Homo-oligomer: A and B are copies of this chain.
Amino acid sequence: MAAYALGWRDVSGAADPAASEGKGLRQALAVLSAEAVGAEGKVAGPAAVAVELVHAFSLVHDDIMDGDPVRRRRAAVWCSYGVGPAVLAGDALHALAVRSLAEAPGERVSAAVRRLSVALTSLVRGQADDLRFESLPWRGPGAVGPDAYGVMAEQKTGSLLGCAAALGAELGGAPAGTVAAFDGAGRHLGVAFQVVDDLLGVWGDPEVTGKPVHGDLRHRKKTYPVLAALAGGGPAARELAVLLEGAEPLEGAVASRAACLVEEAGGLAAARVQARERLDAARACLAGVRLEAVAVRELEVLVAFLLDRTS
């Protein structure tokens, strides 16, 4: 099941060269962060393994919680193997993540494991908030605003990206202030990444993303562009709220109308601003830190890929 979740095998256990292993973003961030502080990238190996395993664990369990039947164009683990086995597969990935870092050599490992364990609790809290948001109203008292969404996204997505970057710096032997700077940068990057994900969930090309058109809208997911649109007020926001609050399925022309309203109410623009601001904040975190130019250029390529991606 783990090999299936990681995109290495098909359901029968045979090699599956067509399956996606994912973007490998977190491991790249760990390795490049180590190089940026002047270490060899391979010192971040155990950190790269750990953060990818944590990511894989969270996808397996999140798909159960969200009832999501598809992941990377294949059946989700719970759909292929059943909910119980998928719970166990996620637990195994979670346990193995901690173990692969804890058993690494070096005197910085202890601090690295502590950092990973903190990120794991943040990740869970973020997922809990994301689930809780589902039952909150779209507007009025108790509604979720874009700021609350940002806090959730920083925990759910940012904490692990921050951890990946910080672990790379930590195992690369950087001083505490530099490690903290990488953590902060990774967190902001995580929110930017999540907001771009949200944009693709509304306006992404299904041919490229592999996800259904207007998928997040049809599932009435509380995403950044939608929440920002609602928070902006005005006639488009009010019409959008009525659609979202209604019981009617958000399919076809209704979903297209909703997407137009999100744009009209400023949700698309606000999301782009948010992604840009978070990217600037990430850069600001690292502004005072002396880094290796080659690795920084590669980090910039990685970041550009993340924010300009179409899938």
Number of chain copies forming the complex:
2
List the B residue with the shortest CB-CB distance to A64: B87
Q: Which of B64, B95, B102, B121 touches A84 (beta carbons < 8 Å)? A: B64
Cβ-defined partner of A95 (8 Å) among B66, B99, B123: B123
CA distance A302 to B134 in the complex (A): 46
Residue among B92, B94, B96, B121 making CB contact with A96, cutoff 8 Å = B121
A121 touches B102 (CB 8 A): no
Instruction: Quote the shortest CB–CB distance from A108 to chain B (angstroms).
Output: 11
Cβ B114 vs Cβ A102 within 8 A = yes
CB < 8 Å neighbour of A88 from B84, B91, B95, B128: B128
Among B61, B85, B117, B125, which residue has its beta carbon within 8 angstroms of that of A87? B61
Whether A124 sits at the interface, judged by CB under 8 Å, is yes
Among the listed B65, B87, B102, B128, which residue makes an inter-chain contact with A92, where contact means beta carbons less than 8 Å apart? B128
- Taking A94-B120, A99-B120 as known contacts, 20 extra A-B pairs with beta carbons closer than 8 A to each other, sorted by chain A number, are A61-B87, A61-B88, A64-B83, A64-B84, A65-B88, A85-B131, A87-B87, A87-B90, A91-B94, A92-B128, A94-B95, A95-B124, A98-B98, A99-B118, A102-B113, A102-B114, A102-B117, A103-B114, A103-B118, A110-B113
